[in-house]
Amino acid sequence: MEYGVKRIFTILTLVAAFAMNLMAQDYRFEIGGALGTSGYLGDVNKGNFLRKPGVSAGAVFRYIPNYSRANKGSLKVATISGDTRTQKHDNDGRSDYEFKSTLIDFGGQAEFNFFNFGIGSKYKNLKRLTPYLTLGLGATMASCSGSSAFAVNLPMGVGVKYKLKERLNMGAEFTMRKCFGDKIDGLSDLNGIKSSFAKNTDWYSLIQVSITYEFGKRCRVCHYVD
Do residues 132 and 161 touch, judged by C-beta distance below 8 A?
yes
The closest of 46, 167, 56 to 101, measured between CA atoms, is 56
Q: Whole-model pTM?
A: 0.79
Do residues 179 and 161 touch, judged by C-beta distance below 8 A?
no
β-sheet bridge partners, residue 93? none
- Please tell me whether residue 52 adopts helix, strand or coil conformation: coil
pLDDT digits (tens, 9 = 90+) for 141-171: 999 888 899 999 999 999 999 999 989 999 9
Tell me the domains of the chain and their CATH numbers: 28-220 (2.40.160.20)
- From CA 132, how far away is CA 44, in angstroms rounded? 32
pLDDT digits (tens, 9 = 90+) for 86-127: 665 545 545 677 889 999 999 999 999 999 998 876 777 899
Quick check: 16 pLDDT over 50?
A: no
The closest of 19, 47, 52 to 37, measured between CA atoms, is 52
DSSP state of 10: H
- Please give the pLDDT value at position 7: 62
β-sheet bridge partners, residue 151? 140
Quick check: 28 pLDDT over 70?
A: yes
pLDDT digits (tens, 9 = 90+) for 69-89: 999 999 999 999 887 776 655
113 residue type, one letter: N
- What proportion of the chain, given as a percentage, has pLDDT over 70? 74
- What proportion of the chain, given as a percentage, has pLDDT over 90? 53
* Of 185 and 157, more confident: 157
- From CA 64, how far away is CA 195, in angstroms rounded? 39
The mean pLDDT value for 181-209 works out to: 73
